[in-house]
Structure 1
Amino acid sequence: MTHAPTAYTRDRREPGEVFGPSFSLFADVLLVGLLTTAACLPVVTAPAAFAAASAALRQSADHGLPVRAGTYVGHLRAHLTVRVLAVGCVPPLLALVLLIDAALLRSSLPGAAVVSPVLALLTLGAMVVGLRATALEAPYRLSAREGFLRSVADPRGALLLAGAVLLSAVLAWSIPLLTPLLPGPLAFAATVVELRSPAG
């Protein structure tokens, strides 16, 4: 005798899949992107917001259920500590470095042609390490040192994350309306790299 599928079984992912059917994955990434953007509005909460996004996606992969807003909010509350809020001062500093870099590109100062690419690469590297750090599980959760070590141990994953950051920057510049959704793919990329990393 066959039973009609329940809402629960329809929500569950197929065995062996990392995150589930493509449409469910698409919806999860969109939702996580919007929630992360909203959580990043105070700026200093950005690391906690990305860590919550990664934790929600990881939990979705582990249990085969779609991401829920309540699940994300629960992870966000767990990550909002004084230490993490202090780390939240780093994104504005990176933005300042990028502004300085852009000013150097427009200037005729000696050495600007060398310093500008170096600053850009350092900023990109810091963003990769930061994303990797937000995707870590306990006891390494939000550890910049561990994020750096794993990035060095997994150069392929670091390059994939760098590509994701660059693609997000291009999309934000060319299609600004997509900007609120971009944290979702970035968190997804960091989570997948961490899950598939030999160091993980």
Structure 2
Amino acid sequence: MSPVRTTKEPGEIFGPRMTLFADVLSVGIAVAVVSLPLVTLPAALSTACAVLRGVREGRPVTAGRFLVALRRRLRFGDLVAGLVALVGAALALVDLALAGAGLPGGRAFALLAAAIGAGAVVVGLRACGRPESVEDWPAAVRGAGRDAVRDAGGSGLVVLAVVTAVLCVWMLLPLVFLVPGLLALALTAVDVRGRV
């Protein structure tokens, strides 16, 4: 592991501490653009987490490195993961719409559906943050499911990261292009925190 630089180099405006932040924002823009088809969202988020994890080994975080890594790994399994995520989101929206239509027991069902959906989102996002997601989605999901139960604090951090991302986009819509990088950084930090 290479030492982390703490001094500014000649001509550098902000210094090394702002470099990671700027790189996360550039990766966030790349993730947002690549995720426009929606089916590619899990692969893009997982690749961003893998690129950000490379900081610990001294590898630079750049949008170019992200795009090269994504091009190498985008395969059928990644598209299936994206399709499963889309179908799950659509089912959750349909269930909540039906529950709000005045059916008997609709409120209780809506609460149950929201809790199940939140759990699925936490497991899915934690799976994106795991290194195994680059090669093996089923193993990443199994590991994320175990982590979601064993590490409730990490799961809470994932929920807070998602809530913060949603609030940022709600307050200022153009942030939708920057938030994916910050979310990937949060997911990577939660995963690294759980492995230390």
Q: TM-score range with shorter-chain normalisation?
A: 0.7 to 0.9
Of 109-118 and 165-174, more deviation after overlay is shown by 165-174
Which deviations, in whole Å up to 9, do the C-alpha atoms of 1:96-140 show, x marking residues without a partner?
134225524642221111111222222221121111111222487
Identity rate of aligned residues, in percent?
Answer: 37
TM-score (norm 1): 0.81
Output the CA distance in 2 between the equivalents of 1:110 and 1:13: 61
- Equivalences for residues 1-200 of structure 1 within 5 A: 13-14=5-6, 21-63=16-58, 65-104=59-98, 106-138=100-132, 141-142=136-137, 143-198=140-195
Using the TM superposition, give the Cα deviation of residue 173 of structure 1 relative to its aligned residue in structure 2, in angstroms. Answer: 2.7
Structure 2: segments with no counterpart, 5+ residues: 8-14
Aligned CA RMSD, in angstroms, stands at: 2.4
8 Å Cα contact 2:99/2:109 also seen in 1: no
Q: Secondary structure at the match of 2:131?
A: coil
- Give the helix-richer structure, 1 or 2: 2
CA contact (8 A) 1:45 1:88 kept: yes
Q: Aligned letter for 2:194?
A: S
| Larger RCO, structure (CA 8 Å, separation 6 or more) | 2
Q: Report the Cα offset of residue 72 of structure 1.
A: 0.4
Q: After superposing the two structures, state which structure 1 stretch, 32-41 or 118-127, moved more.
A: 118-127
Give how far 1:33 is off: 0.9
Q: 1:62 to 1:98 in 2, by over 3 A?
A: same
Distance 1:183 1:81 in 2: 21
Distance 2:90 2:132 in 1: 31
Counterpart for residue 11 of structure 2:
none
- Structure 1 runs not aligned, ≥5 long: 1-11
Q: Secondary structure at the match of 1:89?
A: helix
Measure, in 2, the Cα distance between the counterparts of 1:130 and 1:157: 13
Residues 62 and 50 from structure 1, CA distance in 2 versus in 1: closer, same or farther, beyond 3 angstroms?
Answer: same
Number of equivalenced pairs: 183
